[in-house]
Amino acid sequence: MGKKRRWLKWVLGTVGVLALIIVAALIFVNVYIGKSEAVIEGKMAVKILDEDVTVIRDEIGVPHIEAETDADLYRAQGYVQAQDRMFQMDLSRRQASGRLAEVVGAAAVDTDKRFRTFSLRDAAEKSWEGYGDEAKQVLEWFAEGVNAYMEEAKAEGTLSYEFALLGYEPEEWTPLDSLTIGKYMAYDLGGNWNTLAVRHWALNAFPEDKAKELFIAYPDNAPSILAANKKQPVKVAGEFDASVIPPEFNGSNNWVVSGDKTESGLPLLADDPHLGLSTPSIWYQMHLQSPEQNVSGVIFAGIPGIILGHNEEIAWGVTNVGPDVQDLYIETPNPEDSTQFLYEGKWEQAEVRDETISVKGEEDEAFEVTVTRHGPIISPILYKGEDPGAVFSIQWTALEPTLELQAVLGFNKASNWEEFETALEDFQAPAQNFVFASTDGTIAYKANGRIPLRKTGDGQLPVPGDSADYGWEGYVPFDELPRSVNPESGFIATANNEVIDDSYPYHITDFWAQPYRYERIAEVLEASDDLTPEDMMELQMDQKNLYAAEFLDGMIAAVRKDTKEYDPLLEMLEEWDQVDGADQAAPLVFHKWMKQLPDTILKGEFPEDVYEMFAGKNHITDEMMRQAFAGNEGAWVSEYGGVEKWLTDALAESVDEIEEQFGDKFEDWEWGEYHQLTFPHPLASASPIFAQLLNPAPVAIGGSNITVQAAAFKEDGKVNHGASWRFVADLSDLTGAYHIVGPGLSGHMKSDFYHNQVDDWAEGDYHRTEIEKKAAGTELILTAD
């Protein structure tokens, strides 16, 4: 017994020691991580300032910065952004510049190659030359503020803990870093090259009748372009990394209502841009005040100014136009020299940029970017001895010098529509649907940005790169872009839907978003003449599913013709109120079914990576259903065995998946059990421990990718895309406005403002941010001495 007691005592003692060690380690980690949390009250000396600056963070963490000059305002903006988001800012500039491998290692080399090829940093450098002195000065002031924070944090060992995890320190911030992040946003919102590549592949892989159905509008009137795509096929399968293609759901809702339709008699404006949901948010909300401006809203971390929001006299918001601004060219390399390409019967030398990639822990990787007269070659680079074949180059509006920051600075100080529209001339890429309202009662809209005018074709397919007959010959004139001021309807709304009719003389795109969000917004706005800010917030959270209203009856009828097996389930769908509520079973069945339809009929006919590149698959299968329900089954549906078999097979697959996860009693299913809100941190995927520490707990939510309350989801049901910022402004009281930025404003896991707006996002609990009276909250004085 004595030995057993001694053994037990030793075990308990060892366990106790280990527990103490673990506790001590946790305390150390906690203290170490806490050391890098932003200082948000008291006084801090910031030697670059000319005068003291006040920074008040209100109850939800919005920084209210008040300075005596614009110079100090932008310096303080850079400093404060870096306090809360330095790691995000550094990661953003590295990703856009193709420099992640330097800090992450070999796993990021392919991503770096893709972003080096897309030449965002190069485009930022070219844009810098076009900026005026005022905008350049603002960028430099902002960079001074970021660098003042970094210098201080490095000296005191208070850089954010993510830098320690990856084992590096951030480099000096430059104006080009801010412009490069701006170019990344153009990349995120302005892409259609992958659609062109897939159509090119399809023309060469399928009979014409099947290929034709994969187009929104088949270019029958362009026989020379169709012939060129078949004559000179470019290898697509196995050549491109689909993981770097922006989500096809990047969209948004916005609307503006005139005083004729509001309770106050002055306009209301609402905006909710739909982008990736992440920790931290893509947006950083701020209030900036100096004797020259008083503006509030959001900006991308790493960029000065306020891109969306309001000042004392106007408010504005955007959605993505989604025009065809990327064209692919079929280039013919010289068999003797793959840096030369055929043009008008002669070999023309391309520019070749050395883009050697530094790789953490390994040798540098040689890489070159080849740029033709049209733009960079995006097909994998050719090596000596390889058959050159044909390759793709890309022409893209964002690769040209553009001046978006100059426009933003103009927005911030504009006081009426005329001044705002003048500032819009500098907002060139990505093209955006701007809605506007002012305290003088004006409401307005403009689809703004560079939209190419093509010599031949309309941008639906790659075109020959060896002929002068193709290419761009300018842009839609600024004064002829789609525009509306004070319309008779009393409101203007956009949701990435078609914004022109057949009378508009220029091509924008054939690939508009599905119309359901717009139709629901218009339905609600048309129905009332005494709208309030609360009505606008309620509409932003609306879960009515008009997609189901169009298709569900036909889908149910088709399955019933084929089988009686699913009748109880179909009866449940018939009784559904067609609202995507989190506690209902019907949205789970409907959305899984709709997402399964393309997979059932198309997926097996495509290489896996080409299918992954194929954007808008549901647009295609929706039209297949419309035609089949009208008695015109197309080649794909007929070949599959008819619309009844197709819809039944897709439903069967969907139900099997749901039953495997949630059991076989559909009465117990709930949309929210599957459809769960997440805000993933970029480091969370590296470890389950990181995920537990850095991500908020999932939240069951309603809505979907086609409701006004946008909540797009992945195959596993995780909602990772939606209203990254919600905003409502009442022009009868612009002393403040209503906002939600999920998951919060700080990028630091120990901050009170890290995940404090997750539930607000899910429940539609808005916060009013004031710009006239002094904000209540913690006060930090940045002193000039």
Beta strand 283-290 with 268-276 is unpaired
The token pair at 202 is 């399809």
Outline where DSSP puts E strands in 667-777.
676-677, 699-700, 711-713, 718-723, 726-730, 736-740, 767-770
User: Tell me, what DSSP letter sits at residue 603?
Assistant: G
Residues 182, 184, 186, CA angle at the centre, nearest 5°?
A: 80
Q: Helix 546-562 crosses helix 586-601 at what angle (to 10 degrees)?
A: 70
Rg (CA), the chain: 27
Q: Which residue has the tokens 């419309």?
A: 626
Residue type, 223: P
Helix H or strand E segment including 326: strand 326-331
User: Tell me, what DSSP letter sits at residue 376?
Assistant: B
Q: Say if residue 324 carries a ligand binding annotation.
A: yes
In contact, 257 and 271? CB cutoff 8 Å:
no
Q: Say if residue 510 carries a ligand binding annotation.
A: no
Helix H or strand E segment including 778: strand 778-783
Q: How far is CA 198 from CA 323, 492, 570, in A?
A: 18, 35, 35
Which position among 36, 119, 160, 252 bears the catalytic label? Answer: 252
- Closest CA relative to residue 286, chosen from 271, 272, 304: 304
User: Tell me, what DSSP letter sits at residue 468?
Assistant: T
Please confirm, yes or no, whether 704 is among the known catalytic residues: no
Residue type, 746: S
CA distance 674 to 174: 44
- In this structure, is the dihedral angle defined by the CA atoms of residues 184, 188, 189 and 190, taken in order, positive or negative? positive
Beta strand 333-334 with 337-343 is antiparallel
User: Tell me, what DSSP letter sits at residue 470?
Assistant: S
- Closest CA relative to residue 355, chosen from 85, 545, 42, 117: 117
Beta strand 351-354 with 293-300 is unpaired
Q: Assess whether the previous peptide bond of 223 is cis (omega < 30° from 0).
A: no
In contact, 511 and 462? CB cutoff 8 Å:
no
* Sheet strands side by side (includes 463-464): 391-396, 326-331, 463-464
CA distance 58 to 65: 11
Outline where DSSP puts E strands in 575-717.
676-677, 699-700, 711-713
In contact, 444 and 435? CB cutoff 8 Å:
yes
Q: Which residues are annotated as a binding site?
A: 324, 327
Q: Which residues are annotated as a binding site for Ca(2+)?
A: 324, 327
Catalytically active residues, by annotation = 252
